[in-house]
């Protein structure tokens, strides 16, 4: 049986990343649990120390309930190595469409995400058998992801 899960992303600024990824994925800032005005009120009730609470948003969720929720966990360490796990954002429309059409869609999505604070790492184009195009990106804290 499949299990429910959330994705946790360690970061320095949860609010910044929550807002970036909500816009990137079409998610929304997750509302606090029923009975709590804020997530921090909920965390306090769980016994989390004040020094571990962060200002702003730190969770996002799929408004349609299909994708996993994502929690942005504030940690003191900075990112130093390549991610061992990354997100692929599908923007091309699929292999039934011509490669040039898919490339235009991927590039348009890359430009949109740059406007939100991402940086472009580079493009991957494989003509022939794979007929694949993707753009490598980094979010505002340097976490790698791809658009394909």
Domain termination residue (choose one: 74, 101, 133)? 74
What tens digit of pLDDT does each residue of 118-129 get?
999 999 877 665
> Within a domain: residue 80?
no
Q: Are residues 11 and 57 located together in one domain of the fold?
A: yes
24 with 58, same domain: the answer is yes
Which H or E run includes 126?
A: strand 119-126
The answer to whether residues 115 and 140 belong to one domain is yes
| pLDDT given for residue 131 in this prediction | 80
Domain boundary among 37, 52, 74: 74
Q: Are residues 124 and 96 in the same domain?
A: yes
Assess whether 64 and 91 both reside in one domain.
no
| 10 and 69 housed in the same domain | yes
Task: Work out the average pLDDT over 2-31.
Answer: 95
Same domain membership, residue 69 and residue 24: yes
Q: What is the pTM of this model?
A: 0.90
- With respect to residue 97, please indicate whether it lies within any of the assigned structural domains: yes
- Domain span at residue 94? 87-147
| 96 inside domain | yes
On whether both 67 and 91 belong to a single domain, the answer is no
| Residue 136: both structure tokens together | 């490598």
Q: Is residue 82 part of a domain?
A: no
Q: How confident is the model at residue 14 (pLDDT cuts 50, 70, 90)?
A: very high
Tell me, yes or no, whether 25 and 67 share the same domain: yes
Question: What mean pLDDT value characterizes the chain?
Answer: 92
**Domain final position from 42, 74, 106:** 74
- Is-contact 30 59, C-beta < 8 A? yes
Residue 46 lies in a domain: yes
Local confidence band at 93 (pLDDT 50, 70, 90 cut-offs)? very high
The predicted pLDDT at position 127 comes to 66
Residue 58 contacts residue 38 (beta carbons within 8 Å): no
Q: Are residues 17 and 62 in the same domain?
A: yes
Q: Considering Cα of 111, then 114, then 118, then 123, what sign does the dihedral take?
A: positive
**Number of structural domains found in the chain:** 2
């Amino acid at each position: 049986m499949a299990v429910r899960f959330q994705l946790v992303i360690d970061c320095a600024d949860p609010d910044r990343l929550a807002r970036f990824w909500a816009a990137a994925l079409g998610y929304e800032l997750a509302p606090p649990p029923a009975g709590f005005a804020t997530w921090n009120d909920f965390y306090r009730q769980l016994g989390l120390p004040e020094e571990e609470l962060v200002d702003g948003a730190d969770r996002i969720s799929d408004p349609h309930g299909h994708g996993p929720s994502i929690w942005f966990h504030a940690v003191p360490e900075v990112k130093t190595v390549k991610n061992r796990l990354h997100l692929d954002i599908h923007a091309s429309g699929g292999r039934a469409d011509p490669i040039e059409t898919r490339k235009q869609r991927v590039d348009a999505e890359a430009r949109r995400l740059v406007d939100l604070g991402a940086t472009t790492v580079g493009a991957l184009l494989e003509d022939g058998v794979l007929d694949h195009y993707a753009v490598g990106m980094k979010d505002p804290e340097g976490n790698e992801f791809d658009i394909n």
